[in-house]
Amino acid sequence: MDRREAVRNIVLASGATIFLTGCADRNVIEFLADGKLKLNDKHLDYLGRISEAFLPIEGVSEKIGDPVSFIMTMVNDCSSTGQIRQFATGFEQYKMLMKESRLKIKKADASEVTTVVQTALEEAAPKEDLIYFISSVRNLSIRNLTSSEYYMTEYREYQMIPEPYEPCINV
C-alpha cells in the first residue's frame, strides 16, 4: 500500500465518522444550556408532531399560532430549571417509548398514539418525568389554542374594546 492510498483511506474514514456522528440522534438532555432548553430543528419538528397527535389543529386556521414555539417559550420562560430538566427527561423517555413500540407519528393516527401512551403508562412503573412531559405538552397545546385569535373571535364573544359605560342604569 503506498502512502497516497493510506492518506486517502484515513481521510475517507475520518470524513465518514464525522458524517455519521453528525447525523446521530442526539439526546434531549444535551440541549440544556444555561437553564434553557434549546432544541434543534429535528427535535422541534418531533415536538410539533407530538402536539398535533394530542390536539390536531393543523389546517384549521392561520390565526392559530405555532404550538411548538408557544410550548418552547412557555417551558423556557415560565418554568424553573428543575421543571425544564424534567421536561427534557420526559421528552427523551417519550422518544424511547415510541422507539420501543415501533410507532412513527408521521404515519400514525392520533388515536393510535394516545392508545400506545395510555397502555405504556398503565403497564409500566409510573414514570413521573414522562407523565410531566405528556401533561405539559397537552396542556400547553390547549392553552395555545384557547389563547389564539381564532378561538377568541370564533368561539368566544371576545371584544377588544370594552363595552360602553352606562352610569344611569335602573337596577
pLDDT for the residue 23: 39
pTM of the model: 0.70
Residue 19 lies in a domain: no
Average pLDDT over residues 16-35: 61
Question: To 10 degrees, the CA torsion angle through 86, 91, 93, 96?
Answer: -160
Q: Which residue has the higher pLDDT, 84 or 1?
A: 84
Asked if residue 21 belongs to a domain, the reply is no
pLDDT of residue 104: 52
- The answer as to whether 111 is a domain residue is yes
What's the domain range around 83? Answer: 26-154
In a domain, 14, yes or no: no
- How do residues 41-62 score in pLDDT, each as one tens digit? 999 999 998 888 888 887 777 7
pLDDT grade for 68, boundaries at 50, 70 and 90: very high
**Domain for residue 13, yes or no?**
no
DSSP-based three-state secondary structure for 32: strand
- The whole-angstrom separation of Cα 78 and Cα 100 is 32
Structure confidence at residue 126 as a pLDDT band (50, 70, 90): low
Tell me, yes or no, whether 84 lies in a domain. yes
Residues 143-158, mean pLDDT to the nearest whole number: 84
More confident residue, 87 or 160: 87
- The alpha helices in the chain, defined as continuous H runs, are 3-23, 41-54, 67-78, 81-101, 110-123, 128-146, 149-154
Average pLDDT of the residues of the chain: 77
The total number of structural domains that make up the chain? 1
**64 in any annotated domain:** yes
Reading the block at residue 122, the C-alpha cell is 398503565
69 part of a folded domain: yes
